[in-house]
Structure 1
Amino acid sequence: MTALVLREDRDGCAILTLNRPDKLNSLNVELFAELEKHVDAIAGQTDSVGLVVVRGAGKCFSAGHDLNDIAAGEKPPRPHFQASVIEKLANLPQPVITAVHGHCYTGALELALAGDLLFCSENAKFADTHARWALSPVWGMSQRLPRRVGLPKAREMMFTCRTYTGRQAETMGLANICVADADFEAELAALVKTILANSWYSHRANKALLVETDGLPLAAGLSYEIARSRGVGPDMAGRIAAFQNKTAKIS
């Protein structure tokens, strides 16, 4: 049986690929079950995995929640199953990049918003179409979308069900980075390399601080940072020594 989520590890990056290309990677219960297994494994592999990329196989990231699955009466293994898997992805200790090309609609956008960084191509197409189908979000759209783009733009997206291009997504802050279609793979690889070159310890510590203080007033957040910062990483001395050695050779 073909895996619905593929995992490939490259130099410390775990790449998870949604693998229903014949169905435009539409999201069904079985796919979420496989995704959860991968996410659970990666959470415990901080020594070997410093970064996670989630992307789609074939023509697009994902066309969204499988409407046929909804119509047939899907049977998740527990209540709020898909939402909990997306939350696990968002709360991985490692940074997560969601890499979007082509369609990224509704449920797929909720999944993409779990990434710390959203990277996309110009041909990406983003939309929240819950209202088109008389649905309301339960996978995080009403919370993560306004935090990403602001409340007025989130209202616009949710009420109009309009489709937005990759460049529009970048302009509104939905996407961190948008690149030309032809440069998608090379630019994604370069971003991955840049992040992995920095301290994995710091990435985990910084992500934890950002997550744990989200929504706090400034004074409370500053106090939290002082009290709960994880401090110096085990690779600090080596990194400073390598820098000093490099600058000594240059001079």
Structure 2
Amino acid sequence: MTSLVTREDRDGLATLTLNRPEKLNSLNVEMFIELDRHIASIEKDLDGVGLVILRGAGKCFSAGHDLGDIAEGERPPRPNFQATTIERLATLPQPVISAVHGHCYTGALELALAGDLLVAAQSAKFADTHAKWSLTPVWGMSQRLPRRVGVPKAREMMFTCRTYTGAEALAMGLANICVADEEFDATLAALAASILANSWFSNRANKKLLADTDGLPLGAGLAHEIYCSEGVGPDMQARIAAFTNKTAKKQA
């Protein structure tokens, strides 16, 4: 049986691919069950995985929540299962990149917003269409979208159900990077390499620090940084020694 979410590991990078291309990777309960299993494995593997990329197979990232699944009556393994899976992805210790090409609508946008960074191809198309179907979000749209693009832009997206291009997503701050489709994979590879080259300890610690201080007043945030940060990582001395040795060789 074909996996609905595949995982590929290479040099510390775990790539999770939504793998239902014949349905434009529309999100159903079975896909979320597989995604949750992968997340559970990754969150325990701090030594083996330093970065996660979430992307879609075929023509797009995902067309969104499977409307057929909704119409037939979903049977998730527990209440709010999809929402808690997305939150589990968002709170992975490791950084997460959402890599979006083609459609990224509604539920798929809620899933993509779980990424710490979002890389868009020029072909990317983003929309929140809850209002088109007389639905309201339960997977995090009302909270993560305004935190990413600001409340006024979130209102615009939610009220109009308009589709936005990759370039527009970059301009509004939804995407960190937007590149031509032919440069998409190379850009992801270069970005992943640059992140993985840094201390995985620091990447995890910085992600936690940002999450723990989100919404705090400046004074409280500064105090948290001083007294509650993770401190010095186990690879600090080796990294400084490597830099010192490299500098000394250049000067010799």
Q: Scaled by the length of structure 1, what TM-score is found?
A: 1.00
1:83 counterpart letter in structure 2: A
Question: In the aligned structure 2, how far is the partner of 1:148 from the partner of 1:68?
Answer: 29
Superposition RMSD on alpha carbons, in Å?
A: 0.4
Runs (5+) with no aligned partner, structure 2: none
Please give the per-residue CA displacement for 1:175-206, whole angstroms capped at 9, x wherever unaligned.
00111111001011000000000000000100
- Alignment-mate amino acid for residue 9 of structure 2: D
1:225 — aligned with what? 225
Q: How far is the alpha carbon of 1:73 from its aligned partner? A: 0.4
How far did residue 110 of structure 1 move? 0.1
1:180 to 2:157 alignment? no
> Which residue in the other structure is 2:216 paired with?
216
Instruction: Tell me what 1:16 maps to.
Output: 16
Q: CA deviation at 1:227?
A: 1.1
For 2:141, the aligned partner's letter is M
CA distance in 2, matches of 1:24, 1:144: 24
Match in the other structure for 1:238? 238
Determine the C-alpha separation between the residues in 1 that align with 2:189 and 2:238: 25
Within 5 Å, give how 1:141-220 maps onto structure 2: 141-220=141-220
Tell me how many residue pairs correspond in the alignment.
251
2:97 partner letter: I
Q: Distance in 2 between matches of 1:52 and 1:188?
A: 11
How big is the shift at 1:92?
0.2
Q: In structure 1, what is the Cα distance between the partners aligned to 2:25 and 2:80?
A: 20
Q: Report the 3-state secondary structure (helix = DSSP H, G, I; strand = E; otherwise coil) of the residue aligned with 1:7.
A: strand
User: Cα deviation per residue 1:145-185 (whole Å; 9 max; x = unaligned)?
Assistant: 00000000000000000000000000000000111111001
After TM superposition, list the pairs within 5 Å mapping 1:70-81 onto structure 2: 70-81=70-81
- Please report how far the alpha carbon of residue 59 of structure 1 lies from its aligned counterpart in structure 2 after TM superposition: 0.2
1:98-137 maps to which residues of 2 (within 5 A)? 98-137=98-137
Post-superposition CA distance 1:27-83 (Å, at most 9, x none) = 000000000000000000000000000000000000000000000001111000100
SS of residue matched to 2:79: coil
Instruction: Tell me, in whole angstroms, the C-alpha distance in 1 between the residues paired with 2:142 and 2:59.
Output: 27
TM-score, length basis structure 2: 0.99
Instruction: Kindly state the Cα deviation for residue 6 of structure 1 after the two structures are TM-superposed.
Output: 0.1
Q: Spell out, residue by residue over 1:201-231, the C-alpha distance to the aligned partner (whole angstroms, 9 max, x if none).
A: 0001000000111111111111111111111
- Give the counterpart letter for 2:24 in structure 1: L
Amino acid at match of 2:179: V
* Matched position secondary structure for 1:16: strand
